[in-house]
Each structure stands twice: as structure tokens, then as C-alpha cells.
Chains A and B, each alone.
Chain A
Amino acid sequence: GAVVSQHPSRVICKSGTSVKIECRSLDFQATTMFWYRQFPKQSLMLMATSNEGSKATYEQGVEKDKFLINHASLTLSTLTVTSAHPEDSSFYICSARGQGGDNEKLFFGSGTQLSVL
């Protein structure tokens, strides 16, 4: 089946630094990628939708200047948490949808646990 690779799986950083998370589709071209965030004991919440070659669409309440999303190619999207603070500590996970795919042909990365000290 289709594989989505997400890296790193775990990162610890100091407050004020930036962290980049990569999401790659390994064996298909992902026209659309989604970034989710999950706080402990809460739902996975959609942060933004990114389409290759265009600006990401952010969900209400998500700061676009803080969570920079780049989808420069059909196989790679990155999420950069800028000037991270302890409240940004969370589990981040991406998903990718292939060309011509529907709601049900979504493939997920394994997630990134971010801890900001």
C-alpha cells in the first residue's frame, strides 16, 4: 500500500527555536496534504490543508505565521513551527491524498511528538 514517511518521529527543542517536520509520499504523488495536531486526551484537529504549488489553507484559530507550511513538490510537504513555545508541545501528524483520490484514499504518516522546553 501507499506509504507516507514523516520525520522526525520525536523532537525536543528549546523555547524560541524553530522546528521543521517533513512529510513525504514515497510511492505516489500527493496533490493534497493535511496537517493535524493532537493534544493529550483530545481529538486530532486539522490545522491546515496544503496543495502542491499553492498557499496552504489554515483552519480557524491556527496562526499561519507560526505554523509555516510548504508544499513545494508532489511528494513533500513541510510544517515549520516557528519560535516554538511550551504550549506548542503536541503530536503532529500529516496525511496525503493522491491525484484523483477521494476522501477514503488518505494515507497517514506516523506522527511527530514535539516537546518544547
Chain B
Amino acid sequence: AQTVTQSQPEMSVQEAETVTLSCTYDTSESNYYLFWYKQPPSRQMILVIRQEAYKQQNATENRFSVNFQKAAKSFSLKISDSQLGDTAMYFCAFRGSGYALNFGKGTSLLVTP
């Protein structure tokens, strides 16, 4: 079974600064998908960014980018120019050959003025 580990339960960053959230996973599969989801206080799950394992190029979505290290099974999220609205729980998720998304326990990010 795949496991997803987020080792930082809580993080804090000042507005306009850059923060990196870490995620590691364990799998024996070679083809899979990785995701970062944001969950604000409203508890809605919002897709931030997605990475296909067969793509070597790191995914980027505006201020959000990932550092995907397939050999190390690492998938970190970098948020540049942090904004107050980025305050939320961030979940890393893995999908392999099955149908299920397997989530990590989350990192609570607080952006301070």
C-alpha cells in the first residue's frame, strides 16, 4: 500500500515570503500522479497543482511550483510571494494504478502580515 508522509504538521510564513511544504511517498509503482490540495477554513478541497510521474519537468501554477524528485520519492510544494489567502491546510495526495487518492495528514500553513 502506498503511504504519503507530510512531516511538517504546522508552518508559518510572512506575507510576500516563500515557503516550502514537504511530502514524501512510498510506492513500488512506476507510473502515478501526485497532487497538492488546499483546504481553507471553509473545508472545501481545492486542487493546487498536479504532477504526472512520467513527466520530468516540475509542474508550475502561478505562485505554486513543485520539486518532484522521483528517485527520492519526494514531492515538495513551493509557494512564492505568500498571501494571507494562502492560509490553509495543505494535503499531499498520491494516486497509483487504483482509483483512490491517498492523502497525507496535512500541513497547516499560516501566513502572517
Does B associate with A? Answer: no
